[in-house]
Amino acid sequence: MIDLVASSQVMRAVILTGVFALVMLVSLLGSAAFARHANVRRNLRSLGGMDHVLEEASLATRNRDAWSRLVNRIESAGITLSDTREGELRKTLKAAGYASPAAPRIYSLLRLLLVLGLPAAFVLLVLAGGRQVSVIGLYLMGCFWAGVGLYVPLLFIRMRASRRREAIINGFPDCLDLMLICVESGYGMDAALDRVAREMALSHPHVSQLLTEATLRQRAGASREESLRLLAEDAGVDEVSSFSTLMIQSDKLGTSIATTLRVYSAEMRERRRMRAEEKAHRIPVLISIPLVTCMLPVMIGVLMLPAVIITIRKLIPAMTGGGA
């Protein structure tokens, strides 16, 4: 049998084809089993996503409490960390997502540490490197790093506030759609806010946090009008402010909340589409800057180089009589 297989090319081809088919079948079965296992793990991870969010929130709370204790110890030692414009600073930090009462003092402490720490670190690096730097140069570089430590936290807060505002603007139309579905299903306004907040904890956490805080205020005894106004103040977004005003008016006048949500949701989606079109129309203008800066000189050089070479080799010698 072995001699027959060894001498026959057809038998060898059949056996090799069978082995190939067997390997492919095993590979397909293994990949299908692995895909099912990965799908199950993904579903379990999505189901446990809320626990993960809660764990992250608990960790953030512990870190905030640790910073608060540190600030209290520093102030108890006689060093005040209060800012002269604490109201504006608190509003800026709140727009960035830092709503803790101790947030302005923690921010002042971090700026103080950076203003003192960055120049000290620079001086230590210079001394450890053994480089000779003049006193004036050392002073100027220390002032530079102190300025960096003073303004970097402010830039970080502004950037974080801008990203939070953009996330709220992008996620709020989805929030309105879910709220419309809840209201049309028979939920009340308060129950709809609570349900949407729980549903959007993973997809849009900033919007979920705002709705959760509004729901907790109502449970604590605040009126619906007060909670909605505070919701608009916490968000710092015009769309959310308009939504709060519409909901308050609908509640006072007795109009249909579902109709109001449907109209305003369509309007917000239209605004989001217009913002996307605006960004798309800005792309040619933004692209023209690197084109003019980088590509235009190269193109001019490529087009002008042959003429310059011909001028140097033929025209200038002919004019000066060197070509003769």
Q: Which pTM does this prediction carry?
A: 0.63
In angstroms, the CA 176 to CA 192 distance is: 10
pLDDT at 53: 46
Quote the pLDDT of residue 2: 54
Q: What is the residue-level pLDDT of the chain in tens, covering all 324 positions?
A: 555 545 666 566 666 676 667 776 777 677 767 677 666 666 555 544 444 444 454 545 555 666 667 666 766 766 666 666 777 777 788 778 777 777 777 787 788 888 888 888 888 887 777 777 777 877 788 888 888 888 888 888 888 888 888 888 888 888 888 888 888 888 888 888 888 888 888 888 888 888 888 888 888 888 888 888 888 888 888 888 888 888 888 878 877 788 888 888 888 888 888 888 888 888 888 888 888 888 888 888 888 888 888 888 887 777 776 554
- Following DSSP, what letter does each residue of 55-100 receive, concatenated? HHHHHHHHHHHHHHHHHHHHHHTT-----TTHHHHHHHHHHTT---
User: Do the beta carbons of residue 44 and residue 37 sit within 8 Å?
Assistant: no
What stretches of 220-256 show up as alpha helix (H) in DSSP?
224-235, 238-253
- Report the alpha-carbon angle 27-30-33, nearest 5: 150
Q: Which residues, in sequence order, are CB contacts of 61 under 8 Å at separation 6+?
A: none
d(CA 104, CA 89): 6
Q: Which two tokens stand for residue 133?
A: 């730097």
Residue 98's identity, in one-letter code, is: Y
pLDDT value for 146: 85
